[in-house]
Structure formats: structure tokens, C-alpha cells
Amino acid sequence: MSFLMPKMPAMPAIPAPQPLPEPPKYDDKDRAAETAAKQAKMRAARTGRSATILTSAQGLEDDETSTKKTLLGG
């Protein structure tokens, strides 16, 4: 009963693939500049805990609060 079904048409020829573009170089000037900018930004943001410490190893640097008279202690 193949006369009731039409024959399948032939497959078209597959075109040849185009060559891929050249991948970007890993060590180029743009990447080096971007990396340097990221490192500079991280270095600037890295203040750390030492910036919040207001005393030295010898204690407070100013003795103004310990020599003043207060209202509570006389």
C-alpha cells in the first residue's frame, strides 16, 4: 500500500560550518587594567578593624576625662 503514501523527499545538503572567530587573549591590556582597578578598589575598601581602635598599647592618649570633676562623683 505504498502507493497511498508519498515518498519522503531527499534531505538537502548540509552547508559547511563557518570557522570560529579567534578567542580573546587572556593577557591583554584591557584585562590587566580591569584587574588593577579591581585590586585598587579592594585595597581602598580594606580599612580593617585597626582604623576603629582609638587607643594605643599604653592606654588613652588624652587624660582630660579622668581629671575633670563630674557631677556624680564630686
Residue pLDDT, tens place only, 24-41: 777 788 888 999 999 999
Residue 71: half-sphere exposure toward Cβ, Cα within 13 Å: 0
Cell match 592618649: residue? 61
Residues 40 and 34: beta-carbon distance below 8 Å:
no
Task: List the chain residues with pLDDT less than 70.
Answer: 1-2, 50, 56, 59-70, 72-74
pTM of the predicted structure, to 2 decimals: 0.34
Q: What pLDDT is recorded for position 45? A: 83
Q: What pLDDT is recorded for position 60? A: 64
Give the Cα separation of 36 and 74 in Å (integer): 59
Torsion, Cα of 36, 37, 40, 46 (10° steps): -120
Quick check: helix, strand or coil at residue 56?
A: strand
